[in-house]
Structure 1
Amino acid sequence: MKAGETINGYTILEDFKVVGAGLSKWTFAARGGREFFIKEFLSPTYPDDDAPGSEKTKAKKRARCAAFEAHHRGLQKVLAPLSAYGGNLIVTLDFFRWGAKYYKVTEKVEAEGLSGGDVAAFDFRTQLVLMKSVAHSLKILHDLRIVHGDLKPSNILIKRTELGYTSKLIDFDSSYVAGSPPPAEEIVGTINYYSPELLGYIQEAGVTAGELGVASDLFALGLIFTEFLTGAPPPFDAATYHEPAVAIRSGEMLRIPRAGIAPELADLVDAMLSAEPARRPTIAQVHSALMAIRPPEHDEKTSPTTTAPPTALRGKGVRTGRRASGTGPTPPSRLVGKLLRKFNDRTRS
């Protein structure tokens, strides 16, 4: 499909661009006076009667397509009532097959092209708003026992608002019901943000499907929050293990650097990075703890009003590399510590 062509009523505004490792392509399209984000899946493809291959091969491909359709339509049906147009949970508005290819349509977000390092340069008040909005969006999923399955900074779009910034949670293609993930060989995502149990499941290292629950998202979110607050992942022996989940499964313990981070907030993130899923707080506990924090009156970090103008690239374009100045927030409310103590008491009982 090229710019100017129409597909299922959507007029393509730009040529499609390849996403990530090349599993899909995306662009923007217009319909009914409104612009949308549209994604083309490169796999699976539906074989028609004239497609090459034996009938047995085509039957297998059609069965895979049927499962793919059921997964996406099921998620669309469940999530549609939970987010209005303009909300912070960017759900599927339309899903269809056009010829051999499948397409997904969502709201277009005018997002900033910001990395974790960019967020780390913001004042703490802005960082806190972004963390709260991400946690709230994820809580909507977890209340339904839905695992996002592919949490990473590029799936958290940062949008400028009249009052500052907010975050938009996107891309539920890898989502599944807690305890019922897809087969290990069908798992896709970014290994940098895998939880240790997800990695163990993929590697068939003694982790069963039933052990993959919403806590897997909490580990990924702990990594993201560390980047938001410090500009980098938590330190570990990257030369040996390469990825955080590999380090955890090899016996390392991940901790957020304490310099400039209030102890109560550092304790919260550390709990999210626990090797054992049962020892991680729930997203409701994380959200409650963040809501209890009161930012300082004055913050010497970079004001978010000095960032570059927004783009329409949904946060998937070139990232800048600003790093934190090293000045941290004053300690948050004692209520955060109380929430953590209650959580730790529960896990020890």
Structure 2
Amino acid sequence: MILVTGGAGFIGANFVLDLIRETGEPVVNLDALTYAGNLQNLVSLHDDERHVFVQGDICDRALMDSLLAARRPRAIVHFAAETHVDRSIHGPAAFMRTNIDGTFTLLEAARAYWSMLPDSAQDAFRFLHVSTDEVFGSLAPGAPPFTETASYAPNNPYAASKAASDHLVRAWHHTYGLPVLTTNCSNNYGPYQFPEKLIPMTIANALAGKPVPLYGDGLNMRDWLYVGDHCAAIREVLVRGRPGETYNIGGRSERTNLQVVRAVCALLDELHPDRAGRYERLLTFVEDRPGHDRRYAIDAGKLQRELGWRARESFESGLARTVRWYLDNEEWVRGVLSGAYRSGVATGYSS
């Protein structure tokens, strides 16, 4: 059994769904159900005995200790985090609490649990920490992509909080021997992504006939990774990664934000035409956000060399799958945009 933290969010929910579908291994899914946690992401597992949902906070040490003692997982996969850069600029405290204090609390609970396991179970146990390329800061045009040895240079509160959590995970391995793994991924996209992020926001606003805002000149560049590829990479790292190592996960798909928005609009023109005209007419340039990194790019060569992983989806194929998913799941989108999904927080199907 695996304990997943943050498994009702975008990437966490996709990982839980994929893991159970691909391996059948049971999952205990811990999520605090903040605004980005959505039980509707997991509705297909509602009656599946392999999935146990627990509403709770990784900062709650007593809960973490009792959960580990009762469930006895062979691994912890740690997604739980505050992740939206704009929110971190306007309210950094929540990011410090969840991403730093929460990771510290989880590491200490994991260390206490791991230290009590029999030798064979200790050897097999893993703590996999899911992080981001934003910890490395901004790349100059033409500079080589980030490798696992790139210097940390976070430029916003979110990135700084994730950098701190990465350092904690590293220290708990080198000081205490906890068998940790860290992954740093590029920009994810795909089903169940909260509509504050670029691609689902573009889809939702365009379909509603609202302006599609784009920061600055729209030329900030990111490497785009389809979430299903990311989940497959995490499974590989969990099974065959070397304890104490860091693995970059990227999609080999650098695009500017302007290119991304135009590609989304072109797909919507094809799949859901608007009588008022082409969706690109809604594109609106707005004032850039503070500390906006110009470029990120990931070198995932280590992951390919050591574990044989490479992204299956091109940006074009992954984006087409994503746009079709949002068009086919309008009820999910309406529930998120209206806030109706939050009604499940109090009553969920949790234990």
Q: What TM-score does the superposition give when structure 2 sets the normalisation length?
A: 0.27
If each structure's helix is expressed as a fraction of its own residues, which one has the higher value? 2
Larger radius of gyration: 1
